[in-house]
Structures are given as structure tokens and as C-alpha cells.
Amino acid sequence: MTPLAAKSPRVVVLSGGVGGAKFAAGLNAMLPAGQLAVIVNTADDFDHLGLRICPDLDSVLYGLAHLQDEIRGWGRRDESWNCLQALTAIGAEDWFALGDRDLAVHVFRSHMLRQGMSLAEITEHLVKALGVQNAIIPMSESRVSTVLSTDEGELALQDYFVRRRCQPKVRSLRYDGAQQARLHPKAKTVLNAPEIQAIFIAPSNPFLSIDPILSLPGVKDMLQNRRVPVIAVSPLIGGRSLKGPLSDMLESMGFEGSNATIAKHYSGLIDGMVIDSSDGQDIDELDLPTLVVPIFMPDAPSRERLAQATLEFVQVFSRV
């Protein structure tokens, strides 16, 4: 057990995407039950074939339930594709791959939403049903949608990410509905909890996964005025993202692919950073406490090692 875990802390993670889900799974394995809360981006949620799809929520759910597909990086392991094949055969839209096991979650969620249950209530039910012992909280009950301005015009996130396979060049982004939305009350409660000892920004794409959460009214103020350290885990290794479009997005939007760029993006919000061992030379450019450690997470042991290292890193701030 880590030194931080022995103090029974409350740890909060802002998460989205595959990297965020992996990091949250590592913390889930290292912390006692009930000591972790994951606030998850919902700005990539969308409706497909009459079903409400919540990709980031499900990635975190499957990660913490040990159900994630380690090879694909998304969805459930031991998946089958009978429904998708049948949809293809009748000429239905099949660009968004829905596996049979994954489909069960989407069907249940969509049905319960129509019955009047909230997204947070449904997520809590799924958490308990799949044996997860820590909290997974959608960032908001309101609809927020990430829209990308590209060289091919404006695209909804899933059109860009899945249908167009991240090929268009991204110029800018906006988060429709964010200013009218509100951080979920449960998320606000855990961020303000007296027992909280650390807030982590997961190694997620800042633009697609973290900024939607930060764009909600009052969230940045909460982080700036917090009494505990906020630590960002870099989504880059050697200046590149291992998966996803972050590297291409940084280039097309005129940013350097570096840890310094990530630190500047979160300037005023974070107290420290975690970067990969291969990027140790970047420390002088960051101008904030930095932990240098392997951040590649191909399996459970590597996720747990990173989680333990970041939890121990928090102790540096408790002694200041």
C-alpha cells in the first residue's frame, strides 16, 4: 500500500479517453475502496441508432471493472460482433462499432434515460452492477458537445474521431452547451470534500477530454482556489501521443508537441506534472515540480506502478 493510501485520502481524477481510463484503473487498484472519484468528460456523448453512447464513461467503467479490451484500447474484451454484422447486412449505419457486450450497456442506459433516470444515477447503477468500488461521475447532466473546426468544415467529435479517422486538420474547437451546463453536484462535492488530498488531470487529450470539463462554469475557479495539489500527467511521450490525434492536433493548431506545451495549457491550474522517463531533459522548461517516471501503460502492472508513483509524488506537496 502506498504512503498516501495509508492515510485514507480522497483522490479525484479528471478523465477522458483511453489514457484517462488506464490511469484511473491504476489508481483504482492502488487505493482502498471508496477513496477514488473519477469525474469523466461527457462532451463526446452522442446518439447512434437511437442509443445514447457515452464513450469516455464506458472506458472508465470497463477499466475499473477489469473488462477493458487491452488490445484495441477501447470497448470490452472477449467481444463479439453479431449485431454489428447484422446491421451491416441490412444497410444500417455501421461506422461506429458496437460490440454485443458493449451494446447491452448502451441499451440499458438509453432505456433508463427514457424512464427518467439521470445519467449519474445510471452510471452509479452500472458501477455497482459491475463490481466497481469507487465513484465514476459524469461531468454534467446537461448536454455538452465538442465541435471541431477543420479544413473540411465543422465536425462533431465522433464524426472526426471515428467516421473520418482523425484525418481532417483541426483548426480550433468549441464546446457547445458548456456555458449553460453545470458541473454535476456530486462532482462538486468530491472536489470540495474536506478529506481530499490530491486532484489529478489524467494523461488524456487536453482538447478533447479535459477542456470540456474545465469549460463548465466555475470549474477552473475551483481548481485555482483548491487547498490540495493539482497534478497533470502528461499525455505525451517523446513529444508524441501514443494513441489518438493529439500530436496531429497540436501541429495543425500551431503548437509544439512538448511537455512544456501541456504545462502551459494548464497554466494556473496545476502545481506539478508527471512526465515520461524519456523526457527528463524537459524539466528545466516546465518551471514546476516534476516527477519523471515511465508513463507508458500497456498492462495492469505498468498502470499500477504509475499510480503508485503519482500518489507518492503528492507527498512532496504535503511537506511544503
Instruction: Express each pLDDT in 273-302 by its tens digit.
Output: 999 999 999 998 998 999 999 999 999 999
Residue 1: its pLDDT value, please?
Answer: 33
For residues 166-193, give the mean pLDDT: 96
- Confidence tier at 8 by pLDDT (50, 70, 90): very low
Q: Are 63 and 24 in contact (CB under 8 A)?
A: yes
Rounded Cα gap, residues 38 and 190, in angstroms: 9
pLDDT greater than 60 at residue 6: no
What's the whole-number average pLDDT of the chain?
A: 93
Rounded Cα gap, residues 105 and 160, in angstroms: 24
Instruction: Express each pLDDT in 58-86 by its tens digit.
Output: 999 999 999 999 888 889 999 999 999 99
Rounded Cα gap, residues 5 and 240, in angstroms: 32
pTM for this structure? 0.95
Residue 69 CB partners (closer than 8 Å, separation 6+): 62, 75, 76, 77, 79
Instruction: Express each pLDDT in 196-254 by its tens digit.
Output: 999 999 999 999 999 999 999 999 999 999 889 999 999 999 999 988 899 999 999 99
- Confidence tier at 318 by pLDDT (50, 70, 90): low
**Identity of the residue numbered 270:** I
Residue 320: its pLDDT value, please?
Answer: 47
Domain 8-318: CATH class, spelled out = alpha beta
pLDDT greater than 70 at residue 7: no
Q: Are 130 and 109 in contact (CB under 8 A)?
A: no
Residue 5: its pLDDT value, please?
Answer: 38
Instruction: Express each pLDDT in 134-171 by its tens digit.
Output: 999 999 999 999 999 999 999 999 999 999 999 999 99
Residue 104, number of CB atoms within 10 A of its CB: 11
